[in-house]
Structure 1
Amino acid sequence: MRQQRGRGGGRGEPGLLTRAVDKVFRFVRLAEFEILFVLFFLIVFILFKDLMSRPQYNSIFVKKPDLDDQWP
Structure 2
Amino acid sequence: MARRVETRNESLLTRAVGAVFAFLRHAEFEIIFFLFFFIAYLLFKDVTSRPEYNQIFVKKPGGPEFWPF
Q: Verify same fold: TM over 0.5.
A: yes
More helix by share: 1
- In the alignment, what sits opposite 1:13? 9
* TM-score between the two structures when normalised by the length of structure 2: 0.75
Ranges of 4+ aligned residues in structure 1 off by more than 2 Å: 62-67
**Structure 1 spans left out of the alignment, 5+ residues:** 1-6
Amino acid at match of 1:29: R
Max radius of gyration: which structure? 1
Structure showing greater relative contact order (alpha-carbon pairs closer than 8 Å, 6 or more residues apart): 2
Number of equivalent positions: 61
**Structure 2 spans left out of the alignment, 5+ residues:** 1-5
* Partner Cα distance (1:65, 1:28) in 2: 54
- In the alignment, what sits opposite 2:31? 35
Q: Measure how far apart 1:63 and its partner are.
A: 2.3
**Change beyond 3 A, Cα 1:65–1:37:** farther
